[in-house]
Structures are given as structure tokens and as C-alpha cells.
Structure 1
Amino acid sequence: MRYEVSEAIPEDAKAIRKAVFVEEQGFHNEFDRTDDASLHIVAYDGDEPAGVCRVFPDQGETWTLGRLAVLRPYRGQHLGANLVTKAEETARSHGADRLTLHAQERVAGFYKSLGYRDMGIHDQDEGCPHMWMEKPLTNNAGSESEDEA
């Protein structure tokens, strides 16, 4: 897989999100102004678009991951996890130390397996149960050695 990061939403990203969120899942309000402030990550299998997500700055060093979608033929191949990793790397390279996301509750286990935790905020998005999750992006492993020095 190859990953491309773009400031403007690519047509391939729009097509994937439309296929997954609008056509498969029935969401209506898929595209918003946040797209204009996001970095869009598209995964390609050769020249074929396979998956997408976006990341954007939220507050301070906190960034938000969203609109993670993988086309049906590419599911079950860890592409979603790889896109999350690429999103974390991208946000971190822009100064993020924490990533949040607004997950559909039915896929919360996927994000938990990647180190995200429930923030305790549950709501609905177009009638679909969602929850806010977060993950620190900093490595605190060095803090003990600093205390011992």
C-alpha cells in the first residue's frame, strides 16, 4: 500500500467516503467545512484507492481523526489499522501530542485494540450511536529516568 497525504480533499477520498458512509451506511451529511481544515490520507493499492481518513487540529496539541473508511474489497487486511497509524504519524509530525476521534460505537473495539480509550461522551450522529475516544501520542517512557537522575 502507498499512502498520500493532501491538504485539499482528493476526488479519490470523496469517492471512498461516499461509497462507505453514504451508499453503504446511509449517512447524509458526509462532507463538511472540516474537510477544508484537514489533512486527508488516502491509501492506494497500486493505482486503486482503497481507504481514507482525515486528521485536523482541534485544540492546542490535540488533533482529531475522522472519516476512516475502507472499501469492501480491502477490509480484513489491516488497512484500517494502518491508516490510523499513518494518521497518528501525520498528526504527530505537525505537533500533536494527543488524538481524539468520534467512533461509531459498533467499531469501538477496533479503536480500543489500537490504544484508544473511551472518554465517556456518548451521543448520536444522524441516529447512529457514537462515542468520543482518545489516545496520547507522546512517549512517556523517558520520564522515569529523568526522575531517577
Structure 2
Amino acid sequence: MNYKIYDQLPQEAKEIRIKVFMEEQGFKDEFDDLDDLCQHLVVFGNNQPIGTCRFYYDESLKSNVLGRIAVIKEYRGKKVGQYIVKTACSLIQGNVCLHAQLQAKPFYEKLGFVAYGDIDYDEDCPHTWMKK
């Protein structure tokens, strides 16, 4: 596996997010203005884009925010998600937090993240804030 960092949302990341969040999970509002402010990481396996995330600094949270972490179905269970999170965290200076789908909370806990605050909902999907 290798990765590339982009200052603008690349087509590869967009396609992965459409497949995972919109087609598989049914989210409708996948893309937002934050995409223009973020750096985007795309992971490649066999020269094909297989996973992505975005990250940015949030002044109000006084933390870097890691988000939109997605791995295409064929590569799940192969440590691609772990590679994405660890790589992004190694590139980010300072605190890191993320807004995790509740079903993904155990995955992030294994990577050293701790939940905080109340559970909230994004398009009827329960989420929790986590920090490392």
C-alpha cells in the first residue's frame, strides 16, 4: 500500500466516498464546504484507490479533525482502515479527534481513541466524538 496527499478533493476520494457512504450506507449529504479546506489522503493498493480520509484543523475544537474515513468493500478486514488512520495521525501535528459512527467506535478504540460527549445523529446515524 502507498498513499498520496491532496490539497483538493481528488476524483479517487470522491468515488470511494460515493460508493461507501452514499451507495452502501445511504447518506445523502456526503460532500460539504469542509472538503475545500481539507487535505485528502488516498490509499492505493495495486495502483488502485482503495481508501481515503480527510483532515483539517478546527479552531473551535482546538484540534485536528480526521474524517470521512472510507475503505472500499473488497479491501475491508485487510488493515487498510488502520493504515489510513495511523498514516493520517502521523502526518498531523497535535491533537486529533474524529466524529465516528457508533458502529465504528470499537475500531477507533483499538487505535487509541477515546469517546467523549453525547451521542448525536448525522442523517439518522448515531455518532460520537472521539479523541486521541
Matched residue, 2:92: 91
Q: CA offsets per residue over residues 96-143 of structure 1, 9 Å max, x none?
A: x110100000110000000000112310000000000001xxxxxxxx
User: Number of residue pairs matched?
Assistant: 131
**Alpha-carbon RMSD:** 1.0
- Hey, which bits of structure 1, 4+ residues long, moved more than 4 A? none
Q: CA offsets per residue over residues 61-100 of structure 1, 9 Å max, x none?
A: 51000000000111101100110011111212xxxx1101
Is residue 126 of structure 2 the alignment partner of residue 129 of structure 1?
yes
Return the letter of the residue paired with 2:75: Y
Matched residue, 2:41: 41
Distance 2:62 2:100 in 1: 20
Matched residue, 2:78: 77
Contact preservation (8 Å) 1:6, 1:41? yes
Percentage of pairs with the same residue: 42
Contact preservation (8 Å) 1:2, 1:46? no
TM-score by length of 1: 0.85
Is residue 112 of structure 2 the alignment partner of residue 112 of structure 1?
no
Distance 2:21 2:97 in 1: 20
Larger Rg: 1
Return the letter of the residue paired with 1:129: P
